[in-house]
């Protein structure tokens, strides 16, 4: 028997003075392997062309279709209707500026975050496009690759209690980026330089360890391990600054 799906979708256009926040219901017949990305497109094409939401790759790589699905941040393109009850609630990600309906501006937040953590390899070597690629061990390369799989969808930020309470908190995604550069042998930053970026309440010491970030990460990144790694490294550096230990 074909299920009748009922979508309760948040609707609000902050650019329209007459618009008011509300949820609007849409009905749709479930088809085989229907995911929410396809369902939203069907609703927009067949029922309400004014519905706003973001998408790009449709393959869980761009992160654009992130939203709160039945109270849990996730990717619409990765979420199948068969894994949900017939009543489906869709809300925009909290913690980001609302563009309209399910669309939020994650780009401004992530650009600011990457600037704060200086998200690039720091080196005094001059780039030579003709030179052979710098070699590193497979074990290190695999660790870096694992952390580079972050698609900056914003799910971890929206699931973070600290990030929702404090606009200045860097969040798990930034701390994951720092961990990536700490283990990269090409980055020449010293421990004290990393500490200046994340060794505060705005960084690793503001994390409450609730791990909502890892719980909702669509790429299943080991965020718990990386938060512990950065906290340990920054904690040891902090002790060295206040205790008469020899480095």
Q: Which residues contact 103 (CB under 8 A, 6 or more apart)?
A: 52, 53, 54, 92
**Mean of the pLDDT values across residues 65-70?**
98
SS3 231: helix
97: β partners: 105
Q: Which two tokens stand for residue 130?
A: 């003709």
* SS3 (DSSP) at 86: coil
What is the end-to-end Cα distance of the chain in Å, rounded? 69
pLDDT digits (tens, 9 = 90+) for 2-11: 899 999 999 9
Cα distance between residue 65 and residue 90, in whole Å: 11
Span 132-153, pLDDT tens digits: 888 889 999 999 999 999 999 9
Tell me: the pLDDT tens digits for 161-179? 999 999 899 999 999 999 9
**Rounded distance, CA 131 to CA 91, Å?**
49
pTM: 0.90
Dump pLDDT digits (tens) for 78-137.
999 999 999 999 999 999 999 999 999 999 999 999 999 999 999 998 888 898 888 889
Would you say residue 24 has pLDDT above 90? yes
Residue 243 pLDDT:
73
Question: What domains are there in the chain, each with its CATH number?
Answer: 4-104 (3.10.20.30), 106-242 (1.10.1060.10)
How many whole angstroms separate alpha carbon 238 and alpha carbon 117?
Answer: 18
Question: Which residue bears the tokens 């925009």?
Answer: 92
Q: What is the mean pLDDT of residues 35-51?
A: 96
Rounded mean pLDDT, 52-64: 92
What pLDDT score was predicted for residue 246? Answer: 53
72 or 238, which is more confident?
Answer: 72
Distance CA 2, CA 82 (A): 11
List pLDDT tens digits, range 200-247.
999 999 999 888 999 999 999 999 999 999 999 999 988 887 776 555
Q: Identify the three-state secondary structure at position 28.
A: strand
At 127 the pLDDT is 84
């Amino acid at each position: 028997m074909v299920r009748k799906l009922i979508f309760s979708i948040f609707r609000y256009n902050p650019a329209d003075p007459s618009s008011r926040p509300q949820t609007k219901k849409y009905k749709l017949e479930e088809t085989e392997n229907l995911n929410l990305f396809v369902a939203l497109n069907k609703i927009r094409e067949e029922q309400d062309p004014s519905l706003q939401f973001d998408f790009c790759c449709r393959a869980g790589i761009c992160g654009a279709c992130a939203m709160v699905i039945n109270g849990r941040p996730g990717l619409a393109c990765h979420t199948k209707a068969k894994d949900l009850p017939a009543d489906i609630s869709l809300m925009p990600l909290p913690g980001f500026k609302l563009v309209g309906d399910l669309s939020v501006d994650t780009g401004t937040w992530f650009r600011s975050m990457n600037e704060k953590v200086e998200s690039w390899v720091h080196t005094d070597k001059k780039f030579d496009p003709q030179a052979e690629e710098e070699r590193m061990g497979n074990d290190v390369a695999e660790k870096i690759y694992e952390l580079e799989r972050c698609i900056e969808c914003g799910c971890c930020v929206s699931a973070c209690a600290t990030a929702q309470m404090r606009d200045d908190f860097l969040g798990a995604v930034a701390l994951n980026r720092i961990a990536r550069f700490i283990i990269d042998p090409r980055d020449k930053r010293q421990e004290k330089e990393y500490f200046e970026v994340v060794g505060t309440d705005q960084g690793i010491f503001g994390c409450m360890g609730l791990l909502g970030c890892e719980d909702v990460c669509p790429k299943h990144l080991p965020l718990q391990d990386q938060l512990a790694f950065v906290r340990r490294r920054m904690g040891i550096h902090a002790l060295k600054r206040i205790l008469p230990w020899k480095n």
